[in-house]
Structure 1
């Protein structure tokens, strides 16, 4: 009645009699106790060495007092702890940045590694589908390292063999909620390794006042705001073209006026010119005196001004041919920045087909040939769809402020930008919280950068006009 079956053959056995008992007894190999003790001792030693190597400061904080108490008694250990607590506290009070850089963020990283990430790593990986449970064993991506900054955790992960970056990008919501963060962004560290960025708080929640007019005469990059990591947001306008997309009230005017403010010293020195196209007659008209005769509001005058910029570009191209390959601003050949507010009104919503063709042809010519001879375009629009702005791919640098739909993020910043964490459709519509906040995709990097442009008030624009008039 009973028969021994080797291996996995028992699961394929079909019984024709219901009272037949199928007994499967796997082969058992007994490991000597000495080998087991050696294996556990080696794992304990290797884990201790790895812990001390990866987290020397945090390990020393625990190990040194214990060693002193073992060798000299608990009283000396208490004195050592008191000195060890008092000295860092004085250091933190005296010079907080160096304390945080050398000690504080490392201790925070160790704490969050133990309490947040290692504690929840296995369930988050399995539930989100990034890990696999096969034949009683968990195959998980390897949590390699965590680094803390003033506002976020940067987690280095080694993917499983066969995984792709898109597998992680599709699950950023799972990762963010699993580890208690507002959002998650994915970037590539190197082949097989990813960087996961989990913000702990929002450093761009407070609006930025208008930046001071720089003293240095330069055509860029100009500072227009602040990046999420605390570094200044420098926008390159000379030698490139910039597209700014955002819904109504998203802060497109903040980007435009901050750029104008940064170029003001070069305008005074005659090294830069700003040509303004303002079909709405609202945003740029407030500082019309800054532009002089290079200001257009009606569709006819906008077409004429764009064609005049094309003539300047072609004249320079004829003179520079065979002489130079890049533009250096001079008083004779200044950098020309063509600012177009609400470009869709001129290209897509223009009822006059003749004007529409003239404007579209001029913009296409400027964006394809202008930057080599010192003619740049800074265009703003609300709707980034292809039928509205069919030359959006001719802008190397793009800025996505608050958008209405998730699909619009990839339209502006390129395919996969939203999956990598550019959640421009989640920016708050409340002006104080979300105006000027956006994501930037630079020509040299596909990874989006979260930024906030400084708000230039009406009084600041009046002061700029008075400064130029003086």
Structure 2
């Protein structure tokens, strides 16, 4: 059928029948069976060693009773295993945290690895487009290990050569639904390796009551809620500036009042002053007695108060120059926290152009120069667009509560934050489930952290004011 022309010139290969396509087939080299068996055995042994190395406790729990039953029979195996089971049960009852850390979560990780991730790995990778077919061979990212704790599974993955993190962040919905989780977070472990976090439950699904007022005066970090893993959420206010963005009813007041509540002992000790700007006359007016006369609601008064804060900042900078580079709160130089509720009303929606310029200039000055001399800004707003808040990048730490649009997430937390799992636009609008829930972008880390602030009720605020009086 085909006429092969002399020489290694494929373009000169022709067909004697015009309707027959030219088919090229690679040369077939037959591998001896012994070599194939050796390769298969080596891969099996290597996989078994990796399995034992990564899941020693889980394999021991499964393999030891099975081996005893196979060698000595189930009666002897039961007699030998019963004391160990009783000891594990007593350990679990008497010291549950250490039992779960050393046994419980390791067994959970093995079961999840075997039944969820290993079983579905190849189909999910192929359907989501993370696997590649090249010249008839399939290349699949490697599942390295799985670790579990009380709320999530963390899956370590080795990417294919040439893949980028964006290839994975663009497919977080494929990954989360493919492995039966509501969300998926992508973080970089090291070059070529990622950690995929799949939550199994939501510790932040129910409101958190107001936290007790600390016994010891401190300027922070202060506890204002919980992280997604159940650990305390410690918010740093001294030495930084914090921007809180969220739609109406998202819980901005929970963060502001939890911060005030945590700083209250330091305020009583004279180490902290809170200067409050409340243009809406709703949120901070409850605690006017807490602020020691440093409260303003009228836009002109807000501008005067900000100018005064700038003046204090400049005087401190002049005294600290050549003497110290960082601020330590004292009675003479307390930490000043300027709290601005609905800052956009002062910087964008203010009709008086002169006041708007004064306020914007004062806030820009405080956020660029204030933290070194002990003046911090905690600002809250609803609309994070650049034309509304053009100095949002001057806030090192940012918190995104429930937002109206997916694009607003990156406006607040930075480019790519939503791709890495900060789904602030999907937070529930129901107050009992979504109020105070948000994502934090810290100055020291690009990865967003899911949090929930404690709810401080009107009665809690009145109780704080009553203690001051």
Residues 12-21 or 133-142, more deviating: 12-21
Kept in 2, the 8 Å contact 1:5–1:24? The answer is: no
For 1:13 and 1:160, the matched residues in 2 are separated by: 37
Equivalent residue, structure 2, for 1:411:
411
Equivalent residue, structure 2, for 1:166:
166
For 1:404 and 1:169, the matched residues in 2 are separated by: 21
Where does structure 1 lack aligned partners over 5 or more consecutive residues? none
For 1:32 and 1:459, the matched residues in 2 are separated by: 82
SS of 1:380's partner is strand
Equivalent residue, structure 1, for 2:90:
90
Residues 394-403 or 58-67, more deviating: 58-67
Question: What do residues 224-272 of structure 1 show as CA deviations (whole Å, max 9, x unaligned)?
Answer: 1111111111111111111000000000000000000000001001111
Query: What is the deviation of 1:25?
Result: 7.6
For 2:125 and 2:210, the matched residues in 1 are separated by: 44
For 1:338 and 1:378, the matched residues in 2 are separated by: 6
Matches within 5 A, 1:253-268: 253-268=253-268
Matches within 5 A, 1:37-56: 37-56=37-56
Query: What is the deviation of 1:58?
Result: 1.9
For 2:180 and 2:396, the matched residues in 1 are separated by: 35
Question: What do residues 375-395 of structure 1 show as CA deviations (whole Å, max 9, x unaligned)?
Answer: 111000000000000000110
Equivalent residue, structure 2, for 1:443:
443
SS of 1:208's partner is coil
Equivalent residue, structure 2, for 1:177:
177
Equivalent residue, structure 2, for 1:119:
119
Equivalent residue, structure 2, for 1:279:
279
SS of 2:78's partner is helix
Question: What do residues 206-231 of structure 1 show as CA deviations (whole Å, max 9, x unaligned)?
Answer: 10000000011111111111111111
Equivalent residue, structure 2, for 1:61:
61
Residues 80-89 or 327-336, more deviating: 80-89
Structure 1 length-normalised TM: 0.95
Where does structure 2 lack aligned partners over 5 or more consecutive residues? none
For 2:347 and 2:31, the matched residues in 1 are separated by: 78
Equivalent residue, structure 1, for 2:323:
323
1:307 aligns with 2:307: yes
Structure 2 length-normalised TM: 0.95
SS of 2:15's partner is coil
Question: What do residues 35-80 of structure 1 show as CA deviations (whole Å, max 9, x unaligned)?
Answer: 3333333333222222212211122223222332344333212333
Query: What is the deviation of 1:122?
Result: 0.9
Closer/same/farther in 2, CA of residues 203 and 27 from structure 1, 3 Å limit: same
For 1:83 and 1:162, the matched residues in 2 are separated by: 52
For 1:427 and 1:277, the matched residues in 2 are separated by: 28
1:139 aligns with 2:148: no
RMSD over aligned Cα atoms: 2.2
Query: What is the deviation of 1:19?
Result: 8.2
For 1:279 and 1:126, the matched residues in 2 are separated by: 54
For 1:306 and 1:255, the matched residues in 2 are separated by: 21
Residues 43-52 or 171-180, more deviating: 43-52
Kept in 1, the 8 Å contact 2:2–2:16? The answer is: no
For 1:455 and 1:100, the matched residues in 2 are separated by: 31
Kept in 1, the 8 Å contact 2:429–2:435? The answer is: yes
Query: What is the deviation of 1:292?
Result: 2.6
For 2:426 and 2:44, the matched residues in 1 are separated by: 46
Closer/same/farther in 2, CA of residues 450 and 4 from structure 1, 3 Å limit: same
Kept in 2, the 8 Å contact 1:126–1:133? The answer is: no
Question: What do residues 420-460 of structure 1 show as CA deviations (whole Å, max 9, x unaligned)?
Answer: 00000010000000000000011111111100000001111
Closer/same/farther in 2, CA of residues 266 and 12 from structure 1, 3 Å limit: farther
